[in-house]
């Protein structure tokens, strides 16, 4: 006889919907979702993003409406990414420090619409502001220099905190930036602004549509492999997380999502801290393409993948499918 069959039948508890509900180990709710939003200039503007079917850039009025929608659907947080006008992009990305930039105005628009009822997470990195599309400052050889970039990121994070950001999320992968940003926040009277570190961020082929969305794709020369991680590495991700936590991160992120759930699990088991994952633009596009091709049911694909993040150990997921998922979950 194989195992303890027939006294143990694992199918027994699966036989009815009520029993499956009773034995479900993981729950997914709208409170697990963070909705990334793309911001553009103008009024009443909605710009669909070709490589992200169903996702648009919104002007400030639209951003405020999306945030209100997120709140009504039960989402705790939205994430902001600006599409900076071309004439405001420069070699050193100094628009990132402008207190009146698109990002800061979007934070204000959301706070005006939703008060403190929803969290606003802001991306700290220079790529939406540089004319070369890299996340930091370049030396003459085109290498992204670490320490000078960190100094600018600190000012960018302070600029966002000043505008009302609740969570600053450095996505640049410079060494030492969490400590520098944490110290600056402490010294500038923003002790309660959280840092969600993009701690294990890989140099991935899944970011293409995002770069279209923020307008950096066409500008980018070369790749980001000198700062984003090699997809072959797992131990190194644990070191990244260890340093970022020691430097003052409140939570850490793994990115991309689905291909890196092993990293999520290892980070969760090793550190027992809040871990988030970013189901990135290419993953969204992949699900949309599969659904459009009749290769799977969109709603089911979305809910299954999001549940997988939770099962792997995530506290929450950044996903462009957030409004759809929240609706399906009854938010
Ligand atoms: C850049 C940044 C990227 C994403 C979030 N912040 C792209 C990149 O590193 O080139 C990707 C998100 C996505 O693909 O959805 N700092």
Predicted confidence at residue 160, as pLDDT, reads: 98
Which atom from ligand 1 is nearest to the alpha carbon of 201?
Answer: 9
Domains of the chain: 28-328 (3.20.20.70)
Write down the pLDDT at residue 331. 77
What is the Å distance from ligand 1's center to 157 Cα?
Answer: 17
The best mutation among 35, 37, 153, 171 to test binding of ligand 1, ranked by most ligand atoms within 8 Å of the C-beta, falls on 171
* 240 annotated to a ligand binding site: yes
Q: 10-residue block means of pLDDT along the chain (331 residues)?
A: 79 97 98 98 97 97 98 98 97 98 98 97 98 97 97 98 98 98 98 98 97 92 96 98 98 98 98 98 98 98 98 98 97 77
Write the residue with the smallest CA distance to atom 7 of ligand 1: 207
pTM above 0.90, yes or no: yes
Say if residues 324 and 71 touch (Cβ distance below 8 Å).
Answer: no
Per-residue pLDDT at 1: 53
Per-residue model confidence (pLDDT) at position 120: 98
Separation of alpha carbons 69 and 71, rounded Å: 5
Pairwise CA distance, residues 228 & 283, whole Å:
18
Binding pocket residue ranges, ligand 1, CB within 6 Å: 123, 125, 127, 135, 171, 207, 210-211, 224, 280-281
Separation of CA 207 and ligand 1 centre (Å): 6
93 sits in the region (left: phi over 0; alpha: psi -120 to 50; else beta) called left
Decide if the complex's ipTM is over 0.85: yes
Which ligand 1 atom sits nearest the alpha carbon of residue 135?
16
Please identify every residue annotated as catalytic: 201, 255
Please answer whether residues 313 and 264 qualify as being in contact, where contact means their C-beta atoms are separated by less than 8 angstroms.
Answer: yes
- Predicted pLDDT at 2: 63
Confidence (pLDDT) at 5:
80
Could you identify the residue written with the tokens 């644990």?
238
């Amino acid at each position: 006889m194989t195992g303890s069959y027939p006294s143990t039948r694992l199918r027994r508890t699966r036989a009815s919907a009520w029993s499956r509900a009773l034995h479900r180990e993981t729950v997914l709710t709208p409170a697990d979702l963070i909705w990334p939003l793309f911001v553009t200039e103008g009024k009443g503007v909605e710009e669909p993003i070709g490589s992200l079917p169903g996702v648009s850039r919104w002007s400030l009025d639209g951003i405020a409406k999306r945030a209100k929608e997120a709140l009504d659907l039960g989402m705790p947080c939205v994430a902001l990414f600006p599409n900076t006008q071309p004439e405001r992009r420069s070699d050193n990305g100094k628009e990132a420090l402008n207190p009146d930039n698109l990002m800061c105005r979007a934070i204000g628009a959301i706070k005006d619409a939703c008060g403190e009822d929803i969290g606003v997470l802001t991306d700290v990195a220079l790529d939406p502001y540089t004319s070369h599309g890299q996340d930091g400052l370049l030396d003459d050889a085109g290498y992204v220099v670490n320490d000078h970039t960190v100094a600018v990121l600190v000012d960018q994070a302070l600029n966002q905190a000043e505008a009302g950001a609740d969570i600053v999320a450095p996505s640049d992968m410079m060494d030492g930036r969490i400590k520098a940003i944490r110290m600056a926040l402490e010294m500038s009277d923003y002790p309660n602004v959280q840092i969600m570190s993009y701690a294990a961020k890989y140099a991935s082929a899944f970011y293409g549509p995002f770069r279209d969305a923020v307008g950096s794709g066409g500008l980018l020369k070369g790749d980001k492999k000198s700062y984003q991680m090699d997809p072959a590495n797992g131990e190194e991700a644990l070191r990244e997380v260890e340093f970022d936590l020691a430097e003052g991160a409140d939570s850490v992120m793994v990115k991309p999502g689905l291909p890196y759930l092993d990293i999520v699990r290892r980070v969760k088991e090793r550190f027992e801290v809040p871990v988030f994952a970013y189901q990135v633009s290419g993953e969204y596009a992949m699900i949309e393409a599969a659904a459009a091709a009749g290769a799977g049911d969109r709603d089911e694909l979305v809910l299954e993948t999001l549940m997988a993040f939770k099962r792997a150990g995530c506290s929450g997921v950044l996903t462009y499918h957030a409004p759809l998922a929240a609706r399906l979950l009854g938010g």
